[in-house]
Structure 1
Amino acid sequence: MALALMFLPKIACRSPSDSENIARPFVIHHKYHQSGDVLIAGILSQIFIFAEKITYKKHPSEELENDMINFLARWTFLAAMEVLSTWDKLVPNYKCDTKNKPVAVIGGPNSDVCLFMAGILSIYKFPQITYGSAPLMDEKNQAAFVYRMFPKVVHQYMGILHLMLHFQWSWTGVLYLADNHGERFVHTVLPMFSQRGICFDFIEQLTQMTFFSEMETMRAGLLETAYLVKRSTVNTVIVHGEIQTILTLRLLVEILEYHGDSRISKIWIMTAQMDFTSLLFQRTGGLSFIHGALSISVHTEEISGFHSFLKNRKPNSDPQDGFLKDFWQQAFLCLFPNSSLDDHSETKCTGEEKLETLPVSVFELNMTSHSYSIYNAVYAVAHALHDMSSSVFKHRTDRGKQNLRKLQSWQLHHFLENVSFNNTAGERVSFNDNRDLATGFDVINWVTFNNESFLRVKVGRVDPQIFPNIRFTIHDNAIVWPSRFNQESPSSLCNDNCYPGYSKQRVEGRPFCCYDCIPCPEGKISNERDMDDCFQCPEDHYPNKFKDFCNPKSPTFLTFEEALGTSLASSALFLFCVTAGVLGIFIRHRDTPIVKANNRNLTYTLLLSLLLSFLCALLFIGQPQKVTCLFRQTAFGIIFSVAVSSVLAKTIIVILAFQTTKPVSRLRKWLGKRTAASIILFCLLIQVTICTVWLATFPPFPDFDVNSMAEEVILECNEGSVSMFYCVLGFMSFLSICTFTSAFFARKLPDSFNEAKFITFSMLVFCSVWISFVPTYLSTKGKYTVAVEIFSILASSTGLLGFIFFPKCYIIVMKPDMNIRKQLINRKL
């Protein structure tokens, strides 16, 4: 079976001569046909045109030929009917040649070509394989017969989105053609970008090329867009268009230079439908406008032998191939003999010119994505035909060939839908359920050079996965950026990033990705850029001074090694020694009148409790442990209760002693050791009961406080039941008030046997210390809270020791002559 190709038309623009048939003003000037058992037709748009506006100065049929839109539609419709007719005899619905029978049509690269082509061919259920832009079609009547050599378009948009997110380009602009694809991109795809944190400074419709006579209007619109893009602070611009949009982009970039301004320099992000197009008037133009651009492209592989194929192509190899001759003349700027073009050129084409000598801007020897798609499309049809012939005919006979010619083109659909093969590059070619090519996209970096050549460098890949997920890979180091970025990875932000230690704050009236940066409040941090809000550090950490990192809090407690702990411990031991010395003096002079006066046992009990109170202060220094936490507050409460109750007993004994001097006093029987012991034991019993209930219900325990101090974790003794702690203090306060009151009323009794005045002063100091203790205790934090309690213990104990015992010690040691009964009696008299 011979498989041949036919191509029509090469779209060209010309004015029909008066001799042409008015009934059929449109003639396909370039078409190529090669006979075979079955044919694959191609309807391809080859060049870009400008057309004159209709002026009605000529016959309408002549002016309509120059209408750009009608031009494309009418030529495409005509080419589609040629496929359905006998070759070179346009009789729609009639084909007398059963041998040269097209079975499929390859169309592109514009969406309009594919759409107009489908308007005719889909009526006959004719298989159509499109490449480049895929138009929006009616699914039932048109799209069901169209196969796209283009992956699922949503994967392309996801690839662009991942590219933007990868480089954190959250501030961008959009240029688009006002066609169905462009409108759908703006209204359906861009909201998806916004949901992922990308916002747009502008979304601008590109001025389309329409009529040559409207060039000034087009230029003004293009200039306005150019100034808009140049003024924008975005560094990236997404360009959504088709193959001819590259020309509009070039004019947009360069138009400002003609008005005395610098050209636009942005990172252009182009869709796969766009490609570099070589136009004759662009031949001498530079290519730097596209340097550093990124584009999505249908995945391609290198085809072995393609370079050799191109090098061997000569314009004289096939006289019927008018395409190649026209290309040759335009590419090499020469003319063949008897050419219909301008014959004033002095350069004649020999046909031996070499394609590899052409600039890349004129002709690329490498296979582009569009060429690769056409290559795969041809092989897809060939494999489908092979599968169809294999299923119908088991043996290749001449009769089989005749029967193959009788097959209808619609019978090929089943085999095209299920075609699957490896091309010569080893890549799998097949269609998905929606008749899209089952492949991915490449990310292309455009690199231009001073010799007007360029490279398409693959720097990434977009592989389809289960929708909406894709696998996106990019090689940052392989990308060449536009010159103004000095090969540094550029940013495209509405404003500078909010660095760690700051958070974003929305700016009223601006897009959501435009924001101010405000410092984190006290106690909060942000450890990443552009955080919406600052957050608290973990409980055992605290913010550093830059508020961008959480430092672990260091444990803290009152230690013996630090100056404060050492001074308090030294003071406690010193006072302990002083108290022990006082006790020794009193024991040594226990038989002297001043010691015997007012109950020696109470004196010893008070001094012993003061000794223990000074030692009790040491329990508060050092790392809190289970045992020390259990006993530090209870020991303090019990010892001080004994001390205060001893002072109370002393005061009561003084009062009773003077009351018993009255005749017939009934209080004489209460004057004795049993009364003092009863007072102390009663008070002790109450405090012990309170402490026992405390320890039995909710005892103190080692704990840590992470909230009170900003940079430290306080190791402390949790009081357990705070109410029981204040009950202990409350009972001590009650005893202190009773003692102070009784001493105050007894202060004017005769001095010789009266120490109530000293007790009054000592209790005044004692009460003052503990009254000031409460607010100070509640207002301090950490180890200083413990230090306040230790100081209160030492100060109040020292007050009792100093005011009660130092005057007596002075007499005992310094004035022994006053420590005799006779002297005391004389003082009384």
Structure 2
Amino acid sequence: MLKSGLISPHYPARSLSTIALEHSECGCPSRSKMSFCIQLGIVILPLCCIRTLASRCFLSMSLRADYTEEGDITLGMINPIRATLTQALPTFSSYPTPRLCDLFVSELYKSVLALLFATKEVNNNPDLLPNITLGFQMYDSCFFEAASLQATIQVTSGGRKWIPNYHCGPQPIVPAIIGDISSSSLAIARLLGLWRLPQVSYITSHPSLSNKLEFPSFLRTTASAGSQPQALIELCKKLGWNWIGLVVSTIDYCLQGAIDFQKKAATNGICISFFETVSFGLTDPRMAGLVASINRSTARVIVLYCSPADVTMIFLEVLQQNLTGKVWVGIESWYTTPLTQYNKFWKLLNGSIGIAKSRKVLPNFSSFLQTLNPSAYPRMLSIWQFWETLFKCKGTADVWNNSILKPYDDNQTCTGLERIVTDDVTELHDPRSQAVYMAHNALYAIVHALHNLLFCKSDGSPFTRKFCADMKDIQPWQLLYYLKRVYFINTAGDEVSFDSHGDIYGYFDILNWHINGNKGQHENVGIFNEHINSSEKLYINESLIYWAGGQGKVPSSVCSLVCLPGYWKAPMKGRPVCCYDCKLCPEGTISNGTNYVACYVCPEDQWPNSRRSECIPKVIEFLSYEEPLGLVMALFSILFSIITLIVLYIFLKFRDTVVVKANNRNLSYLILLSLNFCFLCSLMFIGYPTRLTCTVRQFLFAITFSFCVSCILAKTIIVVIAFKATKPGSNLRVWLGLRTAILIVTISTSFQMIIILVWLARFPPFLEHNYHVLVGTILLECNEGSTVMFYCTLGYLSVLAVISFMVAFLARNLPDHFNEAKYITFSMLTFLSVWCTFIPAYLSTKGKYIVSVEIFAILMSSFGLLCCIFGPKCYIIILKPSMNTREYLASTSK
């Protein structure tokens, strides 16, 4: 029976009979027999006819050489081993010749051997894929996209004759493919993504492959190129570099990485001094201009986001121009290549720094290499070329073709008995060890995913139909599900897993290149681990870094110097944000760190120091007893109080004399007592204010003064009444008693009491911390609560004083030997003068001096009353006692 799979999909419109007739010359059945068979639905085609169909009707093909290890499950491996040395353009006048791969490239061959080594490990491991043998089909991609695609189609089509999307024979079990390099991986990933067939690369770091919409089945065990810019950013931040130059190769890998680096730099406070591109084959004049631009730039750090070939060209021109004083920062594409071992570049590279994919050692891989023998793998791709390159010898046809081991004839002939001398230390320092490690991880990632798929339980299956895979029918999308979620500890003890983009987390070594004796070497000085969730993804031991010139400190590469505490960064117009002027913080603000973009205001209870670099507590100011002004005020208050008490004592002692009795001695006692309280209440204005003192002091001041002035008013009125009562027929004698004085004092003081009570009830004074009156000072003062009420009390005192003044002034010339009216007139004049002067002085002063002015007004006005009213009487009592007798009064009245 003719299987539908044997008919080419390129001929859908033609009948089977037509196809058979076209191939009758190869022994196909005749037309009549073919028609008969077609009618029966059965067609028997000789084998030669099928071969003719394949050779004449299908696409032309040239099978690629491969190396196969048989197994129950076969993986595809596409690796770059050889390159094309020469390739002529096809003329299409004859059958196109296949592309020849004739240049062996040894850099990545150890990674090919690592895949072979990993396969043997898996097959010897009873815990991974038990009772299942893992095999592979390995192809050489020749560093060429077309060859990679051809190998991909060949390994996924099955059989020895391949046609796109066509299987001729039993379907091989190729659940996944390992490979290839960057450009080829893009092409393979586009193709395999159509069928969701997993592809795991261990070399490719192209950032575009992280796009799962475009490349849904691609994963990799090497860090994406997108991780590298972040590592460089963290390196620059750690070393304090924010002004750098950037030189970029025009190849896609470097351009994309450099643009990503530039974007990340802009968000991390790093400025690019210049962005220059360079390409292989750049003319000398342009290269000279590029290096001249590097020399002119004030940036000391230059990041070379370039290929090794472009870096070589740049360094040659740098040597030509004798450019020095720059720190070169390298990326992994060139910093660990043989370029760094060229003696002529050592002077430039000395003290440079760069990043490279972290180097790991595979346990037992060195032992595998030491036991490696070409005769054990005679069909292994290019193993004889690897052997010749490694041992710098030439093998004979007998050795390579027949695997005949011969003794040494001379030192130029390979025998196959050579032994690779290596150990874990040399493997670690081999720049190619990273590819070996990642290739090993790639195969193990697929194996662990296969294990999880094949040995899953139906009741725990993640798939909608609740079934697991069969070894002979592995669906690529099922394997892709487990591969994206794979997690295992590899043989080196490291965790391996993929993120949502199919990438492993970036893990880079920070390397410092310097000359050690007569050789140059890389020194591992730190690591960058993107897997760490904290902000500190980069660790550097700066004490291990050697800088050019033997400097012990990190070279500076900034556009502007660091703004010290007390200054802020003022942007320069038209310059990048890293370029700025350092300006002193405005008055009342500080910056307590370096490179502040703005100054900030201190808390209300603090104030900037003289350098404006920190906030210091403000000085709390109040009129205290410790300072001279407060002490003097207190002393005068006590002194005047003592004087008042002395005067009171004198009046009490000489209370029966005519001078004391004149003009109501009881009122004199009350006036002296109130004046004493006036002097003492001024002490409540001195010292640390409290809420209680703020409330009481104004109350005592207002009441005592009102009482004092009321007594003086009563005394003055009684003088007038006494004079009027001496006239014949006067009825005023009844008002000369004590009741009149009490009535006047009570009424006059009551009005002030009402004002005070309203004040305390509605607008009570309170303690206030005033931060704004004096710079750098907290004024601890009593807020009056209501300025209107405060001036009402003063106004009422003034009204009483004015009335007293007017009455006393009118009675000053009354015929009385001891008439106090004229003394009261002077006392009220003094009282009013002091308090009229107090108001403008009170309004024009600040802080503790306001309190001082009020105390001064209290003391002076009180002392004025004391002196003017009681001074003359004390003079008579003490110094002129002869005048303080009735006889003297009688003699003068005659």
Question: TM bucket by the smaller chain?
Answer: 0.7 to 0.9
Are 2:298 and 1:233 aligned? yes
Judge which range, 187-196 or 607-616, deviates more. 187-196
CA gap 1:327/1:207 in 2 versus in 1, 3 angstroms? farther
The residue that corresponds to 1:144 in the other structure is 216
Task: For residue 207 of structure 1, report the CA deviation from its aligned partner.
Answer: 1.0
Task: For residue 544 of structure 1, report the CA deviation from its aligned partner.
Answer: 2.2
Aligned amino acid, residue 276 of structure 1? T
Aligned amino acid, residue 449 of structure 1? I
Task: For residue 89 of structure 1, report the CA deviation from its aligned partner.
Answer: 9.9
Are 2:336 and 1:276 aligned? yes
Equivalent position SS for 1:679 = helix
CA shift digits 1:155-181 (9 cap, x unpaired) = 554444444444454433433344555
Cα distance in 1 between the residues matched to 2:755 and 2:210: 91
Cα distance in 1 between the residues matched to 2:438 and 2:543: 26
Conserved in 2, the CA contact under 8 Å of 1:331 and 1:362?
Answer: no
Q: 2:310 aligns with which of 248, 258, 264?
A: 248
Are 2:510 and 1:444 aligned? yes
Give 1:209-220 correspondences, 5 Å limit. 209=280, 214-215=281-282, 217=283, 219-220=284-285
Cα distance in 1 between the residues matched to 2:396 and 2:586: 84
Task: For residue 148 of structure 1, report the CA deviation from its aligned partner.
Answer: 1.9
Cα distance in 2 between the residues matched to 1:570 and 1:14: 112
The residue that corresponds to 1:789 in the other structure is 854
Equivalent position SS for 2:82 = coil
Aligned amino acid, residue 802 of structure 1? C
Structure 2: 5+ residue runs without aligned partners?
A: 1-69, 117-132, 398-409, 458-469
Are 2:372 and 1:305 aligned? no
Judge which range, 763-772 or 379-388, deviates more. 379-388
The residue that corresponds to 1:57 in the other structure is none
Equivalent position SS for 1:584 = helix
Cα distance in 1 between the residues matched to 2:319 and 2:236: 29
Cα distance in 2 between the residues matched to 1:355 and 1:364: 16
Conserved in 2, the CA contact under 8 Å of 1:525 and 1:550?
Answer: yes
Task: For residue 424 of structure 1, report the CA deviation from its aligned partner.
Answer: 1.7
Give 1:376-455 correspondences, 5 Å limit. 376-381=441-446, 416-417=483-484, 420-437=487-504, 439-450=505-516, 451-455=518-522
CA gap 1:74/1:231 in 2 versus in 1, 3 angstroms? farther
Are 2:617 and 1:552 aligned? yes
Task: For residue 433 of structure 1, report the CA deviation from its aligned partner.
Answer: 4.4
CA gap 1:189/1:337 in 2 versus in 1, 3 angstroms? closer
Are 2:136 and 1:39 aligned? yes
Task: For residue 127 of structure 1, report the CA deviation from its aligned partner.
Answer: 4.8
Judge which range, 501-510 or 360-369, deviates more. 360-369
Judge which range, 817-826 or 485-494, deviates more. 817-826
Q: 2:754 aligns with which of 677, 689, 700?
A: 689
The residue that corresponds to 1:577 in the other structure is 642
Conserved in 1, the CA contact under 8 Å of 2:565 and 2:612?
Answer: yes
Equivalent position SS for 1:143 = coil
Equivalent position SS for 1:13 = coil
CA gap 1:96/1:677 in 2 versus in 1, 3 angstroms? closer
Give 1:558-597 correspondences, 5 Å limit. 558-597=623-662
Give 1:31-110 correspondences, 5 Å limit. 38-41=135-138, 43=140, 73=145, 105-109=177-181
Cα distance in 2 between the residues matched to 1:756 and 1:552: 56
Task: For residue 725 of structure 1, report the CA deviation from its aligned partner.
Answer: 2.8
Cα distance in 1 between the residues matched to 2:784 and 2:477: 91
Judge which range, 224-233 or 21-30, deviates more. 21-30
Q: 1:725 aligns with which of 785, 790, 793?
A: 790
Cα distance in 2 between the residues matched to 1:426 and 1:622: 75
Conserved in 2, the CA contact under 8 Å of 1:560 and 1:621?
Answer: yes
Equivalent position SS for 1:424 = coil
Conserved in 2, the CA contact under 8 Å of 1:41 and 1:104?
Answer: no
Aligned amino acid, residue 248 of structure 2? Y
Task: For residue 640 of structure 1, report the CA deviation from its aligned partner.
Answer: 0.8
Aligned amino acid, residue 461 of structure 1? F
Q: 2:698 aligns with which of 625, 633, 658?
A: 633
Task: For residue 235 of structure 1, report the CA deviation from its aligned partner.
Answer: 4.3
Cα distance in 2 between the residues matched to 1:331 and 1:739: 125
Q: 1:29 aligns with which of 99, 102, 107?
A: 102
Say how many residue pairs are matched: 769
Q: 2:529 aligns with which of 437, 448, 462?
A: 462
The residue that corresponds to 1:532 in the other structure is 597
Conserved in 2, the CA contact under 8 Å of 1:556 and 1:714?
Answer: yes
The residue that corresponds to 1:198 in the other structure is 270
The residue that corresponds to 2:8 in the other structure is none
CA shift digits 1:215-256 (9 cap, x unpaired) = 5x2x43333333333433334445545xxx244235434522
CA gap 1:387/1:268 in 2 versus in 1, 3 angstroms? same
Equivalent position SS for 2:683 = helix
Conserved in 1, the CA contact under 8 Å of 2:606 and 2:615?
Answer: yes
Task: For residue 44 of structure 1, report the CA deviation from its aligned partner.
Answer: 6.0
Conserved in 2, the CA contact under 8 Å of 1:234 and 1:494?
Answer: yes
CA gap 1:637/1:275 in 2 versus in 1, 3 angstroms? same
CA gap 1:329/1:733 in 2 versus in 1, 3 angstroms? farther
Give 1:749-764 correspondences, 5 Å limit. 752-764=817-829
CA gap 1:85/1:562 in 2 versus in 1, 3 angstroms? closer
Q: 2:279 aligns with which of 198, 208, 217?
A: 208
Cα distance in 2 between the residues matched to 1:15 and 1:153: 31
The residue that corresponds to 1:113 in the other structure is 184
CA gap 1:418/1:581 in 2 versus in 1, 3 angstroms? closer
Cα distance in 2 between the residues matched to 1:592 and 1:137: 120
CA gap 1:484/1:647 in 2 versus in 1, 3 angstroms? farther
Structure 1: 5+ residue runs without aligned partners?
A: 47-71, 340-345, 393-402
Task: For residue 752 of structure 1, report the CA deviation from its aligned partner.
Answer: 4.2
Task: For residue 532 of structure 1, report the CA deviation from its aligned partner.
Answer: 2.6
CA shift digits 1:300-345 (9 cap, x unpaired) = 532123344455668898777785676777788x664799xxxxxx
Cα distance in 2 between the residues matched to 1:504 and 1:138: 39
Cα distance in 2 between the residues matched to 1:490 and 1:818: 101
Judge which range, 27-36 or 784-793, deviates more. 27-36
Equivalent position SS for 1:628 = helix
Conserved in 1, the CA contact under 8 Å of 2:249 and 2:305?
Answer: yes
Task: For residue 495 of structure 1, report the CA deviation from its aligned partner.
Answer: 1.4
Conserved in 2, the CA contact under 8 Å of 1:752 and 1:825?
Answer: no
Aligned amino acid, residue 835 of structure 2? W
The residue that corresponds to 2:572 in the other structure is 507
The residue that corresponds to 1:609 in the other structure is 674
Cα distance in 2 between the residues matched to 1:294 and 1:705: 58
Alignment TM-score, normalising by the size of structure 1: 0.78
Judge which range, 122-131 or 360-369, deviates more. 360-369
Conserved in 1, the CA contact under 8 Å of 2:547 and 2:554?
Answer: no
Cα distance in 1 between the residues matched to 2:195 and 2:665: 130
Aligned amino acid, residue 680 of structure 1? V
CA shift digits 1:522-568 (9 cap, x unpaired) = 22222222223222222232322222222234555444444333322
Equivalent position SS for 1:136 = helix
CA gap 1:696/1:253 in 2 versus in 1, 3 angstroms? same
Conserved in 2, the CA contact under 8 Å of 1:40 and 1:104?
Answer: no
Task: For residue 612 of structure 1, report the CA deviation from its aligned partner.
Answer: 1.7
Aligned amino acid, residue 631 of structure 1? V
Judge which range, 315-324 or 121-130, deviates more. 315-324
Conserved in 2, the CA contact under 8 Å of 1:8 and 1:79?
Answer: no
Are 2:266 and 1:266 aligned? no
Task: For residue 293 of structure 1, report the CA deviation from its aligned partner.
Answer: 4.9
Task: For residue 712 of structure 1, report the CA deviation from its aligned partner.
Answer: 4.9
CA gap 1:387/1:822 in 2 versus in 1, 3 angstroms? closer
Conserved in 2, the CA contact under 8 Å of 1:329 and 1:349?
Answer: no
The residue that corresponds to 1:67 in the other structure is none
Cα distance in 1 between the residues matched to 2:343 and 2:145: 32
Conserved in 1, the CA contact under 8 Å of 2:512 and 2:546?
Answer: no
Are 2:879 and 1:814 aligned? yes
Cα distance in 1 between the residues matched to 2:173 and 2:692: 104
